[in-house]
Structure formats: C-alpha cells, structure tokens
Amino acid sequence: MMSPLPLVFSILKIPKIRRAALIGGVALLVVATAWGGYAVIASKFAEQASALEETHGALRNANNRNDALTSALATTAADRDDAENRLVELNKKRGQEAEKLEEFKRENVVLQEKLAQAMVDDPCSIQPLPAAVVRLHHESISAFNAKYRPRQAQQAHSTGGNVPSAGGLDRAVRAVPGTIPAKSNGEPGQDE
C-alpha cells in the first residue's frame, strides 16, 4: 500500500492547483482565525452580559432599598412633625394652666389677707367656727374647685376632708387646716 502523501505532493506541483491550494489554505486559516475570534468575542460578550445583568440586579435591589428608606424617612419626618405639633400644643396648654394657677394664687392671697384683716381685732376669731359656717366654707371651696378642675379629675376624685389634689388647678384653694373637720365618711363634722 502506498501512502497518499506522495500523491498529494505530486498534485500540488501543478501550478494552478498549487495556487488554488494556497488560496484555500489561506482562506481556511482566515476562516479558522475568524471562527476562533468570534468564539472569544462571543464568550467575552456573554461574560459582560452576565456581569451587566448582575449589575442591573444589584441596582434594582439598591433602588428598592432606597425606596424603602425614603418611605421610612418620610414616615419618620411625619411622626416628628406630629410630635413637634403636640409638643407646641402641650406647651401652650401648660402656659395657659400656669397663668390660671398664678391668677388663682393671687386671688387666694388677696382672700387670705382680707380674712386676716377682718379677724385682726375680733375676739371671736380664736373661737371655733359653727358647723353651718364650716359647711358653707366647704361647699364654697368644693364649688370653686369643681368649676376649675379638669373633667377627668372631677370624675376620678371625690371632695372629702381637705380638697384632694389632682395635680391641676385645685391646688390653689385649700381648706384652712382645722376649719373643716372630717368625719369618717368625708363630710364636714359638727363643732363640739
């Protein structure tokens, strides 16, 4: 058996065939190089497309987090504004209550001075008050406190003995110690 190589080399010695083989070889080399280049470029393109898709996914996640944080920030800002408005309102109420308290204190001082002046030279001022006067005094203080006490405090507290304090304006007027003796049920007592 003969090897096919000598036959191939003998055919290539023909000038037209040699030229055709040379052109075919070059064309085959160009096609193989182009195919290899295309494969490399296609793989690079696929890698870049994959990286770009991952980047888009990360960007979507970042945008979602940004939207959530923006929403949380808006909610927090609204809560802060509500708290500031409530604080301003409470400060205004506190100022009004303080003004009322000061007015009641001034009225109380004036009344105590008038009472002290009226009793200065009176020998009866050291005598115990009759029960009817004690009862009227107690009713007057109770009526005054009921008028100026907040509604919740009126419902939550009773008025027995000295006028109870609910932390409100009723601190301004209190019964003079010893003038309203209290029984066990909280009603004014009788003089003995």
Going residue by residue through the chain, which has 192 residues, state the pLDDT in tens, using 9 for 90 and above. 567 667 666 666 667 766 777 788 888 999 999 999 999 999 999 999 999 999 999 999 999 999 999 999 999 999 999 999 999 999 999 999 999 999 999 999 999 888 888 878 777 777 787 888 889 889 988 988 888 776 545 455 444 444 444 444 444 444 444 444 444 444 444 443
Q: Is 129 exposed, middle or buried (0-12, 13-18, 19+ CB in 10 A)?
A: middle
pTM confidence score: 0.38
How many CB atoms neighbour CB 145 within 10 A?
A: 24
- Predicted pLDDT at 61: 95
- Predicted pLDDT at 171: 43
